[in-house]
Structure 1
């Protein structure tokens, strides 16, 4: 999967600021933060100890042009209240069904300050042993593998899988996200206008380890789930 998208409302590079990000070991690192105070889709789950910020991508078709019928993608940023609260968030995300989408903010409110660090990382691992551990062994066995349906001209010695590697990479900056752009209108069927009074202003400063997810909002599908513990590395 390749995901490349542009923010519906891009962060102004002139508003990018440098400030400290606090790591798990108590040290801090100076990194650039995207800044966009004002009305944002955000909410705070004080009883569970975290806040969520939702940033939408432009809705674009396969030709890259704006298309209001295109899938609605967004990034959800889960920021624990405690600087060491990421582990509890990860546990909720992987053990509770639909946790990520249940926490998606449903209304806008004033968020000031609103700061999110720029980050870029990649990760590669050999999934062969993990798949074997799940019981998928035959494709890796030269004597047991039967992949004749995958090719038109099978070699006499047969075909088998020698290894499977998975690689993921995510980059977030002022323009958008590369891992895979989107505008949101109030006519979107996934939202309804809210007549309740707006909640009081909140701050969202992601200056310590946090969880993030890239989702397809309309279908409620989580495409990517990851966490940031040091945006400088």
Structure 2
């Protein structure tokens, strides 16, 4: 049996961000068939994508209660949806259900078309915003992919096929790592430590984001401050501060404050700051709060916003984590991936890496912000000096690009 190597990764370059959670309800529950038929394929996959994002987050939060978490649910969903094109029978069903899709309510065609529309919408670049997603297949040079598999991946996922000599492990590893490094603007290097000679195919998805804050931070206002990791641990971090109007919700019952920090363009960083000692309680609570609920509760308010300047990175071994969400067979000897080459294959590795960088960068002049901070009437102070949650949201498509938890900020 030849093995199938599957690699998933993502990367974010963020200029001054913060984290939060958006749970989207099953908006279409109770709608009639005509209304559902009017939805675009992209709209149809949104509930499943959100469900997967928070199912995986919830699992990881329980598995690693005291660690930083950071991943791209969009990247993982896209890559496994690509894989599902070549899956058959129970293997394919497990992938779809694990990704949050109810197969009695959505078709395989709509799933593929939905990701096609999402990829097209996300590949957007302006002077203030860089957002791009890329897919690639590194194929053993003598392998013959089935025509339908090749066409579907090209048409729906814009995936390029790259011939690779896996018998030369070092050369194949360098080829793949170079591709990844280029697509992530040098932020992810040496993703693969080795490539086995029995490898047939490596699938890659990268997502790259670089944004400019709508309201820039003044670098001269950044100062060293305490960050309370827990009751007994305090670390020093460079804290950025700005006084500006943001959308904010003060959730006294849930024990947290939510703020929407916009980038220029159509993306926002949503940060949820739990009350002291309530991180895990808030993590559980936000799983049941819909995007619409947060939006209805948020109001514009001029606040003093303080967030740390930091970097965070995380690598997930999805072969260990996804079986706990029901995606099991694809990693075992009973995997049915016969739609790829017609032969018996299985996933031998599934790696996901994400990187986040947060700083003051912004195109706007900062003089006004500095002056505003010195006003006599002090506004509500949103001070992220303790663990917080963060979500990067692409608003036009309701796509959760990245999500996670910052327990201990790392220096860049």
Q: What TM-score do the two structures reach when normalised by structure 2?
A: 0.42
Question: Does the aligned pair in 1 maintain the 2:254–2:285 contact within 8 Å?
Answer: no
Corresponding residue for residue 279 of structure 2: 86
Higher mean Cα deviation, 20-29 or 103-112? Answer: 103-112
- Count how many residue pairs are aligned between Structure 1 and Structure 2: 190
Matches of 1:138 and 1:168 in 2, distance apart? 25
Matches of 1:16 and 1:8 in 2, distance apart? 18
Question: Does the aligned pair in 2 maintain the 1:146–1:160 contact within 8 Å?
Answer: yes
1:105-150 Cα shifts (integer Å, max 9, x gaps): 64321213x20111211111211133334443443345x4443433
2:311 to 114, 117, 120: 120
2:270 to 65, 76, 92: 76
| 3-state SS of paired residue (2:330) | helix
Q: 1:101 to 1:124 in 2, by over 3 A?
A: farther
Corresponding residue for residue 127 of structure 2: none
Shift of 1:5: 2.0
| 2:360 paired with 1:169 | no
Gaps of 5+ in 1: 60-71, 182-199
Gaps of 5+ in 2: 1-74, 76-206, 364-377
Question: Does the aligned pair in 1 maintain the 2:312–2:410 contact within 8 Å?
Answer: no
| 2:37 paired with 1:37 | no
1:131 to 319, 322, 328: 322
Corresponding residue for residue 150 of structure 1: 340
Shift of 1:46: 2.1
Corresponding residue for residue 103 of structure 1: 294
Matches of 2:246 and 2:327 in 1, distance apart? 45
Q: 1:88 to 1:201 in 2, by over 3 A?
A: same
| 3-state SS of paired residue (1:88) | helix
1:53-108 Cα shifts (integer Å, max 9, x gaps): 2111121xxxxxxxxxxxx2101111123x211111111123x052x553246432
Higher mean Cα deviation, 218-227 or 44-53? Answer: 218-227
Q: Which has the higher helix share?
A: 2
Q: Which has the higher strand share?
A: 1
Matches of 2:254 and 2:390 in 1, distance apart? 16
Corresponding residue for residue 46 of structure 1: 252
Matches of 1:138 and 1:40 in 2, distance apart? 46
| 3-state SS of paired residue (1:207) | coil
Q: 1:13 to 1:128 in 2, by over 3 A?
A: same
Matches of 2:214 and 2:222 in 1, distance apart? 17
